[in-house]
Structure 1
Amino acid sequence: MVQDGVSGVIPVVDVSEHVFERISGDDVTHHVSDRVVETCAREIARAFEEYGAVVVRDERVSEQENDAFVRLLQRYFVQPREIKMQDVRREISYQRGTTPDHVERARDHADTAKRLGQQHQPTQARSRADPKWRVMWSLADASSATTASSTTQNVVPLAFEKDWVETMNGWGKKLLTTLNNVCSLLAIGLGLEPDVFEKLLRGGEHLLAPTGSDLGAPDVVEGTVLAAFHYDMNFMTIHGRSSHGGLFVWTRGGERVAAHVPRGCVLLQAGAQIEMLTAGRVLRGFHEVVVTPTALHQTHRATNEASRWRVSSTVFAHVRSDVLLTPLIDEDTTTAHSQRACSSSKLHQPSSSSCSSSSQWRRTPQLARDQIRDELQAIALANHD
């Protein structure tokens, strides 16, 4: 039976609006001290180191806006397939518009799953195409674009021309603002300059990327995998509250944890790029999305067909495409944390020689654009050239 949760809780860090103002330079009256900022920063860094994720309570997060966003996407996804297919842009690797169901395919992580305890196994370790749909909406600043895709036009569905752009940009950019603020606190907590991550993210190909899954479909049952065991290829992902839950994440120690996002909060999870930039001090977060008993009960009580769709509220933040993915931390610190990563992580187990030399993260540096290309090819979204 699929559980709605297991032991273990992702830390919730309550970050006041004044802390966010302080780190962004807007707190001219100094409502909070450096000590308060440093305490928040340490808590966020510890959560990312141990869980690869953190839940942040942000007074600026509007539940009304999140709910309006989810309802808009439910109305979109409930449309007939042939209408949604008009919004597909396969020729640009689905990085704009709609990705149909059974297209995204996670990498095969069966070997990784073997290292996990029996009670913490992914629901599905072998790779199969996910049954979810997705919409990709660029939040990138065209004025600082570093790739042609950054200036590629977004797709506005014909039936939603009235409120689509305002809703997508409004909610997406609010999530992105919170993510940037959290990145500043994370940098402080890791002993780096506060703006080190923000500078790398400036001009990145950030994507509002909600998923849609029809939980009322006849083949959907308890335990149906909507997004198979995987990690995100980008720098960091931020989630508002989804409509039906079902997200599970794995801690550094290999424990499977239900990711509950309380009202007024957001969930942030580490991607592959931050692992490379921190030399494994923060590891990419593995996760899956599964249909739970609670989600099915909610679906059975749905008053209309649209509200049976599970919609996520997701933004993928990327570093700029011309960023070289190499550790930002000095060599001695890099080596120490690489050894810690080897010894404490059941999800990331390089060879013993890699542990001693920290070469796991000191391989030939790769440009972010090349890393993303390789990842898109690996999950069947881009063709091999």
Structure 2
Amino acid sequence: MEIPVIDLTPYVDAVSGKFTCDEHLHPELKSVCLEVSRILRETGALLVRDPRCSTEDNDRFIDMMEKYFEQPAEVKRPHARPQQHYQVGTKPGGIEIPRSLVDLEMQKKMRAMPKDRQPIIPTGPDLRSQYMWRVGPRPSKTRFQELNSEPVIPEGFPEWKKIMDSWGFKLLSTVEAVAEMAAIGFDLPKDSFTNLMKLGPHLLGPTGSDLVSHGEKGAVFAGYHYDINFLTIHYKSRFPGLSIWLRNGEKVEVKVPDGCLLIQAGKELEYLTAGDCMAGMHEVVVTDSTLRAIEAAKKENRSLWRVSSTLFSNVASDAVLKPLGHFAKSSLAENYPPMFAGDYFEKELLVINLKEKDGA
């Protein structure tokens, strides 16, 4: 199935200070909100068009990140912050372990899939590198300091902060609009999700995958996994390779239309809806499409680093994760007991090797 594209322009125009609750929303816009929640529920993914996010913005960002990732490993190494769970600064390849490598239940489900829908079962840590840049303010007091750390600015990039902040805030604005629309579509107050996102540890987290060293078909840059945050948003990458699994089990190699953004449901959204909207599974692997893009880039003498234009939005670390509103009455709500979002997040980071065991 094809994922339809939702144009956010009418909603963005309508909510520019003109209404405070969803009862005042025009019926046509309310029907679009119902469509947003339906698509997220049925597929775990959403394609949107937002007039505030342009291809030029994305190109400026990716151009800079290509230059950053192309640097030698020893230049990038000082920007790593393992003591802060790699939640700011650089994360080298070979550190993060895909959950499907250590989750036996997940492996069982993978092997039970039809052959044409199976992911490539990872044999080791992810090959991709990543850079985490905080977007938006953080709380002055928090139980989870490592998740809310100060950003790291690499030397040699005078435009770094301006480009990262500008693009990060634009992507976050898109996520906030979708979060409001989804809340309305799920029959919750429109600010149900965005209130929980205030002062959240939102991260602009571009990945860098070296297609020179690992450009062979089947190379796994990000093994089969779900995202542990609320909603993940991507602008179009210059190299394909991202595949997602819809809720019906169908595997789709993502083709993001020009000028559009892909949004994926994360585990925090699953938690808040008691599993009504499940976190989407995905992987990033070198495919035939990737190989064709590599050949085209070589002919045009372009960078052979695959950079993702990705932002991870999050529930605030000190907020409580629990099913909201009518979802609390779901028969599945007991599978999602109340807990601080920061506790949940650190527990997940431990599994994928980004947080050291206490006392280690």
TM-score normalised to the size of structure 1? 0.85
Cα drift, residue 145 of structure 1: 6.0
| Deviation for aligned residue 1:117 | 2.1
Q: Give the 5 Å matches for 1:23-172.
A: 23-26=15-18, 34-108=26-100, 109-124=106-121, 126=122, 128-142=124-138, 146=142, 147-149=144-146, 152-160=149-157, 162-172=158-168
Q: Deviations over 1:118-146 (max 9, x none)?
A: 2110122x452011100000113135663
TM-superposition CA deviations, 1:144-202 (whole Å, max 9, x none): 66342465221111121x11000100001100000000100000101010111000001
- 2:332 pairs with 1:371: no
Equivalent-residue separation in structure 1 for 2:141 and 2:43 (angstroms): 32
Contact preservation (8 Å) 2:242, 2:254: yes
Task: Judge conservation of contact 1:321–1:369 (CA < 8 Å) in 2.
Answer: yes
Structure 2 CA distance, aligned partners of 1:332 and 1:321? 21
Distance 2:302 2:124 in 1: 26
Change (3 A) 1:331 1:70: closer
Q: Residue 279 of structure 1 contacts residue 329 of structure 1 at CA under 8 Å; is this kept in 2?
A: no
1:203-214 alignment runs, 5 A limit? 203-214=199-210
* 1:83-138 residue CA offsets vs partner (Å, 9 max, x unmatched): 011211111111111000100111133122134222110122x4520111000001
Return closer, same or farther for 1:224/1:193 CA change in 2, 3 Å cut-off.
same
Contact in 2 for aligned 1:240/1:266 (Cα 8 Å): yes
CA 1:90 to 1:54, structure 2 compared with 1: closer, same or farther past 3 Å? Answer: same
CA distance in 1 between partners of 2:199 and 2:261 (Å)? 23
Q: Deviations over 1:44-101 (max 9, x none)?
A: 1111001111001112221001011111100100011110112111111111110001
Q: Distance in 2 between matches of 1:280 and 1:232?
A: 14
2:283 is matched by which residue type in structure 1?
E
> Normalized against structure 2, the TM-score is what?
0.91
Q: Which runs of 4+ in 1 moved over 3 A?
A: 142-147, 303-306
Q: 1:295 aligns with which of 265, 290, 294?
A: 290
Amino acid at match of 1:287: H
Q: Report the Cα distance in structure 1 between the residues aligned to 2:319 and 2:338, rounded to whole angstroms.
A: 10
Where in structure 2 are there 5+ consecutive unaligned residues?
A: 101-105
Residues 165, 330 of structure 1: alpha-carbon distance in 2 compared, 3 angstrom cutoff:
same
**Residue type at the aligned position of 1:293:** D
Q: SS at 1:307's partner residue?
A: coil
Asked if structure 1 preserves the Cα contact closer than 8 Å seen for 2:273 and 2:327, the reply is no
1:241 aligned onto 2:236: yes
Letter in 2 for 1:87: H
> Counterparts of 2:305 and 2:125 in 1: how far apart (Å)?
19
- The Cα RMSD (Å) is 2.0
Count of equivalent residues:
348
**Given the alignment of the two structures, is residue 10 of structure 1 paired with residue 16 of structure 2, yes or no?**
no
AA matched with 1:94: Y
| Distance of 1:190 and 1:299 partners within structure 2 | 41
Matches within 5 A, 1:184-333: 184-217=180-213, 219-302=214-297, 307-330=303-326
Contact 1:236 1:317 in 2 (8 A): yes
Partner residue in 1 for 2:357: 384
Which segment is superposed worse, 295-304 or 58-67? 295-304
Question: How far off is 1:333 after superposition?
Answer: 5.4
The counterpart of 2:334, out of the listed 359, 365, 385, is: 359
Instruction: Specify which of 175, 181, 198 is matched with residue 177 of structure 2.
Output: 181
C-alpha displacement at 1:326, in angstroms? 1.1
Distance 1:203 1:230 in 2: 26
* AA in 2 matched with 1:231: Y
Alignment partner, residue 103 of structure 2: none
What is the identity, as a one-letter code, of the residue corresponding to 1:239? H
C-alpha displacement of 1:24: 4.5
| Distance change >3 Å, CA 253–CA 74, structure 1 → 2 | same
Q: Counterparts of 1:268 and 1:145 in 2: how far apart (Å)?
A: 30
Give the Cα separation in 2 of the matches to 1:127 and 1:51.
27
How far did 1:26 drift? 4.7
